[in-house]
C-alpha cells in the first residue's frame, strides 16, 4: 500500500527496509501511496464521521497494523477565528491553529505517534533524536507510552526550560552536547546507522507523514483549504509535511485548491528565506544560528530541499523576522486573542504581519497561521521581555495608590 521514494533520483525502497535517506544519492525520502486505490476507497464524508485527530486519516498513514498504534490522542487541535488580531493586522478571515493543544504541547506529537509505531513495527527497543526541545519532549513521552528507551541529544544551555523538564520527567536519557542543534543532529544520524537506535528526527520519512495531518485537519475544519498557510520554519520538516498533506487532500478529490505556503524564519537563522528571496537552488547554511525562538534556531535545515519545493510549488514565499518582532507578536496574540504560544510559534504571526504590510497577502484572503507550540514551554522569554509586576506594601492604601499611578 505504500513505499519510499528518493525525492531526487526516484530510487524506491520497500516498507520492510529501515532507511532514512537514499543510499544511492543521499537525499531525503518521501512516502508514496496508491492514491488511485485510496481515492476509490475513501470518502470525505466517511472520514468526517471519525473524531478529528491524527488517526482520523489512518488510511493515509504508513502503518501496517492498526492494532499496534501508540497514541496519546494527538491532533484534533483547535482552529481559532481571530477577529481582534485580524483587525490589528488588517485581515478579515484569520485563523490560528493552536498545536499547543497536543499531548506534549507541540505539533511534534503528530509525527511521534507515527514514528514510535514504526519503531515497534521494526522491532526497535530504543529510539533516538537530536532536539531543540520539543522533539525530545514528544519522543520521550511516546517512548514512555510504548515502554522503550529514549535517548536525546540537546545543544547545551540552549533549550527552553519547560521542554527540558518534560524530557526529564518522561525518563529520557539526556545528553547535552557542547555545540548547536546541527552538531547534535550530525551525531545522532551517524549513531542511527549502527542499527541499534531508531532515528526520529524529521529526516525520518514516516515521522513527517504524521505531521501532514495538520493540513487535512485545517481543510476539514474550514470546509476547504485556506488561501495562505503561514508556518515557522526551523529544520523545515513541518512546512514540507503540511504541503504534502494539502497536495494529497486535493489529489484525493477532497478539495479543489491548495494554499500558498508562507515560511517564516528568524533573522539569525534564515537560510531558507534567503534562498527563496535570492532565488538560489541550494541553501547556504548559517554557521552560528541565533534567535530567542530556540525551536527554530537551526542553521542547516535537513529538509531544505523539500521546503524550497513546497514554497515554490505552492506559489508561496518566505520572510524573516527579528527577535523584537517575535516577542512583540507573542504579546499581541496573547493580549488580543487570549492565546499564549512559544516564541517560535509567534514568529508566524510576526511574519504574517510583514507579509500583509508588504501587500503579499490581501485583506480578504482566508489565512491560517500555525501556532506550533504552547507558551508555557518557554516561560522565561515573556518574563525577560515583559514589564515586571508592580510592588506594594501590605496595605489597602498602598495597593490602591499604586494602581492609580499606573
* Range in contact with ligand PLP (rule: CB under 6 A) among 19-27, 113-121, 168-176, 226-234: 226-234
* Range in contact with Zn ion (rule: CB under 5 A) among 20-28, 239-247, 280-288, 293-301: 20-28
**The one among 61, 185, 344, 352 contacting ligand PLP by CB under 6 A:** 344
| Distance between CA atoms of residues 52 and 66, nearest Å | 17
Taking alpha carbons only, the member of 193, 96, 184 closest to residue 135 is 184
The answer to whether residue 326 forms part of the interface with ligand PLP (CB under 6 A) is: no
The answer to whether residue 166 forms part of the interface with ligand PLP (CB under 6 A) is: no
**The one among 71, 117, 235, 320 contacting ligand PLP by CB under 6 A:** 235
Sort 327 into a burial class: Cβ within 10 Å, 0-12 / 13-18 / 19+.
buried
**The one among 202, 317, 330, 381 contacting ligand PLP by CB under 6 A:** 202
Smallest distance, Å, CB 70 to ligand PLP? 20
| Distance between CA atoms of residues 323 and 338, nearest Å | 21
Residue 299 interacts, among ligand PLP, Zn ion, none and using kind-specific CB cut-offs from 5 to 8 Å, with none
| Distance between CA atoms of residues 172 and 136, nearest Å | 8
Cα–Cα distances in Å, from 70 out to 5, 8, 281?
Answer: 25, 32, 39
Residues binding ligand PLP: what is the number (CB under 6 A)?
A: 18
CB-nearer residue toward Zn ion: 54 or 208: 208
Q: Which positions from 22 to 51 touch Zn ion by CB under 5 A, shown as an x/- string? A: x-xx-x------------------------
Q: Using only C-alpha atoms, what is the Rg of the chain?
A: 21
**The one among 150, 295, 346, 356 contacting ligand PLP by CB under 6 A:** 295
Residue nearest to ligand PLP (CB): 373
* Range in contact with ligand PLP (rule: CB under 6 A) among 221-229, 231-239, 387-395, 396-404: 231-239
**The one among 106, 192, 201, 320 contacting ligand PLP by CB under 6 A:** 106
| Distance between CA atoms of residues 283 and 276, nearest Å | 9
Q: How many CA atoms lie within 13 A of 240 on its CB side?
A: 28
| Distance between CA atoms of residues 208 and 212, nearest Å | 7
| Distance between CA atoms of residues 398 and 224, nearest Å | 55
- Do strands 317-321 and 260-266 pair parallel, antiparallel, or not at all (unpaired)? parallel
The answer to whether residue 342 forms part of the interface with ligand PLP (CB under 6 A) is: yes
Residue 22 interacts, among Zn ion, ligand PLP, none and using kind-specific CB cut-offs from 5 to 8 Å, with Zn ion
The answer to whether residue 12 forms part of the interface with Zn ion (CB under 5 A) is: no
Q: Are 172 and 139 in contact (CB under 8 A)?
A: yes
Buried residues in 48-66 as b, exposed as e (16+ CB within 10 A): eeeebbbbbbeebbbbeee
CB-nearer residue toward Zn ion: 297 or 306: 306
The answer to whether residue 236 forms part of the interface with ligand PLP (CB under 6 A) is: yes
Residues contributing to the site for Zn ion (CB under 5 A): 6, 9, 11, 22, 24-25, 27
Amino acid at each position: 500500500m505504500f513505499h519510499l521514494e528518493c525525492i531526487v533520483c526516484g530510487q524506491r525502497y520497500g516498507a520492510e527496509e529501515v532507511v532514512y535517506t537514499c543510499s544511492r544519492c543521499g537525499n531525503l525520502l518521501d512516502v508514496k501511496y496508491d492514491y488511485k486505490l485510496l481515492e476509490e476507497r475513501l470518502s470525505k464524508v466517511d472520514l468526517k464521521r471519525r473524531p478529528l485527530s491524527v488517526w482520523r486519516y489512518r488510511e493515509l498513514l504508513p502503518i501496517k497494523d492498526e492494532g499496534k498504534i501508540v497514541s496519546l490522542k494527538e491532533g484534533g487541535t483547535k482552529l481559532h477565528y481571530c477577529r481582534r488580531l485580524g483587525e490589528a493586522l488588517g485581515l478579515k478571515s484569520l485563523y490560528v491553529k493552536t498545536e499547543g493543544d497536543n499531548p506534549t504541547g507541540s505539533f511534534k506529537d503528530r509525527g511521534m505517534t507515527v514514528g514510535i509505531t514504526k519503531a515497534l513495527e521494526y522491532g526497535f527497543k530504543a529510539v533516538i533524536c537530536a532536539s531543540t526541545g520539543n522533539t525530545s519532549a514528544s519522543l520521550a513521552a511516546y517512548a514512555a507510552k510504548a515502554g522503550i528507551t529514549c535517548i536525546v541529544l540537546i545543544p547545551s544551555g540552549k533549550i527552553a526550560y519547560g521542554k527540558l523538564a518534560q524530557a526529564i520527567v518522561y525518563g529520557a536519557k539526556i545528553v547535552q552536547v557542547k555545540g548547536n542543534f546541527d552538531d547534535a543532529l550530525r551525531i545522532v544520524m551517524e549513531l542511527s546507522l549502527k542499527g541499534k537506535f531508531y532515528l526520529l528526527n524529521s529526516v525520518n520519512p514516516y515521522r513527517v507523514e504524521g505531521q501532514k495531518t495538520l493540513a487535512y485537519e485545517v481543510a476539514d475544519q474550514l470546509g476547504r483549504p485556506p488561501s495562505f498557510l503561514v508556518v515557522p520554519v526551523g529544520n523545515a520538516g513541518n512546512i514540507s509535511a503540511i504541503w504534502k498533506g494539502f497536495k494529497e487532500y486535493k489529489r484525493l478529490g477532497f478539495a479543489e485548491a491548495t494554499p500558498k505556503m508562507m515560511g517564516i524564519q528568524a533573522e539569525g537563522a534564515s537560510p531558507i528565506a534567503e534562498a527563496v528571496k535570492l532565488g538560489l537552488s541550494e541553501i547556504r547554511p548559517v554557521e552560528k544560528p541565533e534567535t530567542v525562538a530556540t525551536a527554530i534556531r537551526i542553521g542547516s535545515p535537513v529538509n531544505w530541499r523539500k521546503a524550497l519545493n513546497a514554497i515554490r510549488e505552492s506559489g508561496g514565499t518566505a520572510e524573516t523576522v527579528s527577535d523584537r518582532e517575535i516577542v512583540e507578536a507573542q504579546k499581541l496574540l496573547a493580549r488580543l486573542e487570549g492565546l499564549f504560544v512559544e516564541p517560535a510559534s509567534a514568529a508566524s504571526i510576526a511574519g504574517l504581519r510583514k507579509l500583509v504590510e508588504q501587500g503579499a497577502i490581501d485583506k480578504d484572503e482566508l489565512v491560517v497561521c500555525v501556532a506550533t507550540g504552547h507558551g508555557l514551554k518557554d516561560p522565561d522569554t515573556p518574563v525577560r521581555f515583559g514589564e515586571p509586576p508592580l510592588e506594594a506594601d501590605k496595605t489597602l492604601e498602598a495597593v490602591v495608590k499604586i494602581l492609580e499611578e499606573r
